[in-house]
Chain A
Amino acid sequence: MTAWITYVVTAAGLTLVALIRPFLGRQNELFGVVFGTRNIRQDQVGRSLKQQYLIETLSLAVLVWGGLALMAWWHQQPPYLALGMIAFLLAALAATANAHRLSSQYHQQLAVPEAMRVSVDLTQLANEQTLSPVWGMVLLPLVGVGFALPWSAVAWANLTVGLVVGGTFLLTRHLAANVHGLAAAPGAAQARNILLSFLLAVAVVAQGFGLACAWQPAQAGLFSLVFGLLTLLGLLLLLITWLQVTRRQAPAGAVRTDNARWYWGVFYYAPNDSSLFVTKRIGVGLTLNYAHPASWFLLLGVVAVVATIAVLSN
């Protein structure tokens, strides 16, 4: 029964995320394609592309999640959650790629010019409010607590969380918007600070969750529930504040879009940009610049950590 509940909740959650992602962008962005200063949100073609994406993604969700549930029911076995997640993520990626292709075609049809002159305000940039690196220290206390107590496995896990999140935080303190130009992405600095604060908060909560589970293993279910609720609350707050500072504001100047650097609107590949992280085009969050070898090492590192946790938990 628990397996079925987990399956349904995960399926509903992932489907919901896939459905709302394209609606979180700025006014001039449609499936990873930026249309200069043009507001594409109210555009007829833009609307119909979004409708088409919704229908495609919903159909794929029903096909993948429903199909696997049916198979599990037929064989009297719990549903294959991991398989469903992989299959749905691939299906959602295919739907996004298709929508991006159609959006790119529309962009070409409109012949939106690319701004070749990019301006920045040096004074504003020099005085820009970035989160102090000292904030990264919030990840240390619970690592210390882990090592001070006889739960070494949790201490190492908390140290890993501290290193990964702390490293990401330090590398992304100056993260710029994914378009360039003076007032091309208003609110980008605030949005970045909100995102980084969320990242640090979730990491600290995760460290606390690990310690709590090691301290009272019998209460792990309750702790999971609290951790899940806190993360969900944080995510909700992140979404609301992010949308307030980005989605409502229109670009006020020339926009260098760099559309050609975004593959399927999802993968960023720019050898001339030394940023390791950039803000996502579709949805909310960060993504890697895959032109950097470091990004692949980071990706492999995360896969290795996840695989190790999966093996150890079995």
Chain B
Amino acid sequence: MELTVDFASTVPIYTQIRNAVIQAIADGRLKSSEVLPSVRALGSALGVNYHTVNKAYTQLADEGFITMRRGLGAMVAEQLPAVDPHFEAEVVPQMKALFTEAKVRTVDRQTLVALIDQVYDEGWHH
């Protein structure tokens, strides 16, 4: 399973790693209980600080996407997280910002829903 980091992007590298892992889980390239490389190995392979990878892994573990066990390393969680207050707290402000911008740009609800459908479907065919 390929993970790509864009060094020219304004998105922080740890966020890119986090998003790439979630994307891979979503489209089935990473299965439940699949082992992930160690923080050190991934950091060396990407040429980034171990703390950057550790930050991504810690966030993924906090959110319930992966589990980290001492000695065994990181692996995709057996039970993936469902909708919870944490998810809503994260997503709602982002959606509000997006919808506000859409409103200013006079993008109507129908177009917006069509865009959401399109992006949602693309998510499974990465």
Contact with B along A105-121 (1 / 0, CB 8 A): 00000000000111111
What is the number of residues of chain B that contact chain A, defined by CB distance less than 8 Å? 28
B→A interface (CB under 8 Å): 1-8, 24, 30, 34-38, 40-51, 73
**Judging by beta carbons under 8 Å apart, are A120 and B46 in contact?**
yes
**Judging by beta carbons under 8 Å apart, are B4 and A125 in contact?**
no
**Judging by beta carbons under 8 Å apart, are A176 and B45 in contact?**
yes
Residue A193 is within 8 A (CB to CB) of chain B in the complex:
no
Which 7 pairs of residues, A with B, have the shortest CB-CB distance? A176-B44, A125-B37, A116-B8, A180-B47, A274-B49, A119-B4, A126-B37
Whether A118 touches B36, Cβ cut-off 8 Å, given contacts A174-B41, A182-B2, A256-B7, is no
Minimal Cβ-Cβ distance residue in B for A192 = B44
Whether A274 touches B41, Cβ cut-off 8 Å, given contacts A120-B46, A122-B36, A256-B7, is no
Residue A56 is within 8 A (CB to CB) of chain B in the complex:
no
For A175, list chain B residues within 8 Å (CB). 44
Interface residues of B, dominant DSSP: mixed
**Judging by beta carbons under 8 Å apart, are B1 and A258 in contact?**
no
A275 vs B3: C-alpha distance when bound (angstroms):
20
Residue A48 is within 8 A (CB to CB) of chain B in the complex:
no
Whether A116 touches B2, Cβ cut-off 8 Å, given contacts A176-B44, A273-B49, A274-B50, is no
Indicate the member of A116, A119, A122, A272 with the most B CB atoms within 10 Å: A122
For B5, list chain A residues within 8 Å (CB). 117-119
A114 vs B104: C-alpha distance when bound (angstroms):
39
For A180, list chain B residues within 8 Å (CB). 45-47
Tell me, rounded to whole Å, the shortest Cβ–Cβ distance linking B71 to chain A.
12
Minimal Cβ-Cβ distance residue in A for B74 = A126
Indicate the member of A126, A272, A275 with the most B CB atoms within 10 Å: A126
A256 vs B8: C-alpha distance when bound (angstroms):
12
A256 vs B7: C-alpha distance when bound (angstroms):
10
Indicate the member of B4, B6, B51 with the most A CB atoms within 10 Å: B4
For B35, list chain A residues within 8 Å (CB). 126-127
| In-complex Cβ contact of B43 among A119, A126, A127, A274 (8 A) | A274
**Judging by beta carbons under 8 Å apart, are A120 and B36 in contact?**
no
A1 vs B50: C-alpha distance when bound (angstroms):
54
A128 vs B45: C-alpha distance when bound (angstroms):
11
What would 13 A/B residue contacts be, using CB atoms closer than 8 Å?
A116-B6, A116-B7, A120-B2, A120-B46, A125-B42, A128-B37, A128-B41, A130-B41, A174-B41, A174-B44, A176-B44, A272-B49, A274-B48
**Judging by beta carbons under 8 Å apart, are A120 and B51 in contact?**
no
